[in-house]
């Protein structure tokens, strides 16, 4: 499944793009492109049918297909993408039937990001773009076994506390690029980007010149970024 979704949720959103469980909850709503077995043909229509007052978690399953839409809601929600069985090792390799989130950032819109969620979680997702492939906003965000690919400022500004676990960070081009641009403006801001047990690489492989890329450049006076237990290629400039 390939999807380009701009998701804005005011409470909690978990997006599971790769297979990690065999059985989904019975009450999951199904979205599919017609003809299909889904009750809805767009993600937004499924979201609109959810309760915004329930304390019980709700879920949506999106069958493979191309979905290009903006999705907004205020429900506590987990979104599953169609994939292979949970024990299929290909599920961790970003195969064609996974969800792909494509950033299409226009000038002046790069700081918009995801509007003020309190908690966001992503598992096994591809997030691709050029500049600002992943514009974070506020709240707490977790990315596990994801792919973030772009050229400059892959993870960009604002006030989010974002943790990347066992994820792949992929740089596109040969000229100078930056992985992060953290916008922490004061000591009281909670913003921080942490990359733990991740892999940083260039799509160009060994053809990328040494010291081409930087781990980041600050967008705020108190910018805070941590890379720990992470593999870095020689293309990373030692100055950081």
Q: Give pLDDT tens digits for 78-112.
A: 777 765 444 433 333 444 444 444 444 444 444 43
Spatial distance between the Cα atoms of 103 and 233, rounded to a whole number of angstroms: 25
Which helix (H) or strand (E) segment holds residue 47: the answer is: helix 43-48
191 — phi, psi (to 5°)? -65, 135
pLDDT computed for residue 26 by the predictor: 76
Residue 208: pLDDT band with limits 50, 70, 90: low
pLDDT at residue 22 greater than cutoff 90: no
pLDDT computed for residue 207 by the predictor: 58
- Burial label for 41, CB within 10 Å (0-12, 13-18, 19+), is middle
Label each residue of 88-152 as H, E or C: CHHHHCCCCCCCEEECCCCCCCCCCCCCCCCEEEEECCEEECEEECEECCCCEEEEECCEEEECE
Please give the sequence-ordered ranges of beta strands (E in DSSP) within the chain, or none if there are none: 2-9, 12-16, 29-31, 58-62, 66-73, 77-81, 100-102, 119-123, 126-128, 134-135, 140-144, 147-150, 155-156, 161-165, 168-171, 177-181, 192-196, 199-202, 213-216, 225-228
pLDDT at residue 165 greater than cutoff 90: yes
pTM of the predicted protein model:
0.68
Quick one: DSSP state of residue 44?
Answer: H
Spatial distance between the Cα atoms of 208 and 211, rounded to a whole number of angstroms: 9
pLDDT computed for residue 2 by the predictor: 40
pLDDT computed for residue 102 by the predictor: 46
Spatial distance between the Cα atoms of 113 and 110, rounded to a whole number of angstroms: 7
Question: Mean of the pLDDT values across residues 209-218?
Answer: 81
Spatial distance between the Cα atoms of 202 and 165, rounded to a whole number of angstroms: 19
Token pair, residue 7, equals: 């998701």
Spatial distance between the Cα atoms of 169 and 148, rounded to a whole number of angstroms: 5
Domains annotated for the chain, with CATH where assigned, are 1-97 (no CATH), 103-108+117-240 (2.160.20.10)
């Amino acid at each position: 499944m390939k999807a380009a979704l701009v998701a804005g949720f005011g409470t909690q959103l978990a997006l599971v793009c790769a297979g990690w469980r065999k059985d989904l909850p019975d009450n999951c709503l199904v979205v599919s492109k017609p003809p299909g077995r889904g009750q809805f043909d767009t993600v937004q229509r499924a979201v609109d049918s959810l309760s915004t007052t329930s304390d019980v978690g709700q879920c949506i399953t999106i069958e493979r297909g191309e979905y290009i839409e903006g999705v907004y809601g205020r429900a506590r929600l987990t979104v599953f993408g169609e994939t292979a069985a949970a024990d299929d090792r290909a599920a961790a390799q970003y195969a064609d039937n996974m969800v792909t989130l494509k950033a299409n950032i226009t000038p002046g819109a790069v700081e918009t990001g995801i509007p003020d969620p309190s908690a966001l979680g992503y598992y096994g997702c591809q997030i691709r773009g050029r500049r600002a492939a992943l514009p974070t906003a506020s709240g707490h965000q977790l990315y596990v076994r994801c792919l973030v690919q772009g050229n400059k400022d892959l993870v960009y500004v604002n006030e989010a506390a974002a943790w990347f676990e066992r994820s792949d960070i992929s740089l596109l081009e040969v000229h100078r690029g930056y992985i992060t641009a953290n916008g922490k403006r004061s000591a009281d801001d909670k913003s921080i980007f942490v990359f733990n047990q991740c892999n940083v690489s260039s799509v160009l492989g060994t053809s990328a010149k040494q010291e081409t890329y930087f781990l980041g450049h600050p967008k705020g006076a108190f910018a805070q970024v941590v890379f720990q237990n992470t593999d870095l290629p020689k293309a990373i400039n030692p100055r950081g």
